[in-house]
Structure 1
């Protein structure tokens, strides 16, 4: 739901009633991950997506129904061989979707509004919702902050909320969205509960070292991928806003000195485009010892061999050097700055998602790697008539 925070915040501020459909879990190959959302207001306006188009019509109907009844519902969408083409989920995926009405007097409206506002301000926050558990808890929500404080409740007993907040905080610290199962003992609820935890964190950083023409194209690619992009170069004549209008930050400093004083984390991508030993060696010697997501360096294979030798001379180990992606980028046959930026961006995505970088045609590799078995897997689907939906089962009714 936090993926459409900008629009939903506006709706909440305008006092609109709306219903939110959120992907709770996926199984097999599915187009959108947990946390993806679609919302419908009382006038029928739609924002967001839960399936890339496959089941949007059916989900729209569920949202309209929830607005009328004031009740939430959890539904499963899948496919059968005979229904596959009519339904749209020919990929063979299964998705569980929770639809929650957010009327003026809905108990979750205050928590939702706080979570949406925090996400718009790019403040780290987690929204935890019960998607399985005792009937009185289903659909309840908590807003969890990095310090462990929270807003909302999971019933009169404060213990479930405290347990849920602690588990949600762990996902928030990792910047992850997913489900958390709390045992009966841990949650103090008969049978336990399952939470969908959506984490909203500031965008990951991409730091581009070297204010060259290839960097300008890479800045645009990084922004397209959702990174906060910084350009750093020691030469003030090249590192200017006029040359990099789309960069979030432009820093004039020696690269290794800037890297030493700036903040990085496990999501940061470092792209070294200077291919000049006086910049590269001290920078990479530091970068390869940081717990960042990606370190890549531009240059020919000859440049890479010389760089590798110099880095060994300053004490880098085989293990540290193995983290360096050089020459940076996937083999796309790139020539222009834009094509080169695409090859670099593709390698960053592959590293982040565990992709191989080989063509999907004939590869036999999974298209979606991080799908999880939907909660409640194994329930028998019941067929719905009509031409919009597939095989589907009602997993639970949420009150």
Structure 2
């Protein structure tokens, strides 16, 4: 949704209206999760998708119809879907899609969502699916510390303090979706909390990791203390490039469960104080580059620095999955593959031969 929202805001800035489609509910082995988005501009441009391709064509047509009528619409695809659409996921699952018209001019909450995400702030969008307020948004945006929050003036038919506002506040700061019943009808609540990827060490490996991390939806920061290597133009996909001693930067930045820390410096002067600090944070993933010999020596130094065994067990080193990687790009794929597996609970094993659901 984040990339699609960014594109929708860009189209609006260019004076181009569009239709925004979002998956609001799924059933069975649906190809993509609730919250997945697709947008179609009035010029025919498409961004994103709501399925593995099996229903995107039908949703594209629905988007054109919504743009023509400027009214929201919902459609169900699958075994219990609308037979008039005559299409459904080939996997046998089902999905419900909400399509909304987004005008080119005037205020629209999507711009506020985009602005907050650019700043690294978590956002919750509550959208009425039916009833008299169908298509109306309420946007709840938090601070980077996920503490105080503020809300826009548009409502989904519920006063402040109601169950939808309470659910949104509960979800703020963690990616999630829910359909909540209200007296005025169903409301789709979607929480967007851009995960952070902190890359320490402005190396060739970092150049590749930043690009792939950005594609995965991470808000990427590169940090290194060496001026000659930390040129921002080396990392155009990074949200920020910081010249600072890594452990000092880590002390002053926000780190939470959705934060991934990748240490690529491969230098004890940087690694030991940085990892000592990192292993005492609430980061969801902490990995460090280095050989097995380097890792063994690093563990000894960390113990001498007072890091406990329970903290050391959180460290993933050597970083990445065994892909046989040799190049910087292949190594970045190895690291991001481990990030995805860690986040989604995957095994990292080939799907061929595994007797388990692909979409858990």
* TM-score bracket, shorter-length normalisation: 0.7 to 0.9
Decide which of 230, 233, 236 is 2:224's aligned counterpart: 233
How many pairs align? 347
Moved more, 12-21 or 275-284: 12-21
Quote the Cα distance in structure 2 between the aligned partners of 1:215 and 1:66: 43
Structure 1 length as normaliser, TM-score?
0.75
Q: Distance in 1 between matches of 2:44 and 2:280?
A: 52
| Equivalent in 103, 126, 140 of residue 124 of structure 2 | 126
CA distance in 1, matches of 2:63, 2:230: 50
- Higher mean displacement: 42-51 or 303-312: 42-51
Quick check: 2:67–2:101 contact (8 Å CA) kept in 1?
Answer: yes
Alignment partner of 1:291: what SS? coil
Aligned residue in 2 for 1:273 = 264
Say if 2:185 is the partner of 1:196: no
Q: 1:361 aligns with which of 319, 332, 352?
A: 352
From 238, 253, 256, give the equivalent of 1:262.
253
Q: Distance in 1 between matches of 2:95 and 2:271?
A: 46
Residue 20 of structure 1 and its aligned partner are, at CA, apart by 3.1
Shift of 1:41: 5.3
Name structure 2 gaps, 5 residues minimum.
Answer: 143-148
Match of 2:177 in 1: 178
Match of 2:146 in 1: none
TM-score of the superposed pair, with normalisation by structure 2? 0.82
Give the number of the structure with larger relative contact order, counting CA–CA contacts within 8 Å between residues 6 or more apart. 1
SS of the equivalent of 1:76 reads strand
Q: Which residue of 1 aligns with 2:99?
A: 99
- Classify 1:341/1:142 alpha carbon distance in 2 versus 1 (closer, same or farther; 3 Å): same
1:154 to 156, 159, 170: 156
SS at match of 1:97: strand
Q: Does 1:141 align with 2:132?
A: no
> Equivalents in 2 of 1:236, 1:68: separation in Å?
54
TM-superposed CA distance for 1:208, in Å, is 2.0
Q: Which protein shows a greater Rg? A: 1
Q: 1:290 to 1:37 in 2, by over 3 A?
A: same
Unpaired runs of 5+ in structure 1? 370-399
- RMSD over aligned Cα atoms: 3.2
Aligned-pair distance for 1:354?
Answer: 1.6
In 1: Cα distance, 2:244 partner to 2:216 partner: 26
Contact 1:179–1:194, Cα closer than 8 Å, also in 2: no
Q: d(CA) in 2 for partners of 1:291 and 1:12?
A: 38
Instruction: Give how far 1:306 is off.
Output: 2.1
Task: Provide the rounded CA distance (Å) in 2 between the counterparts of 1:31 and 1:14.
Answer: 32
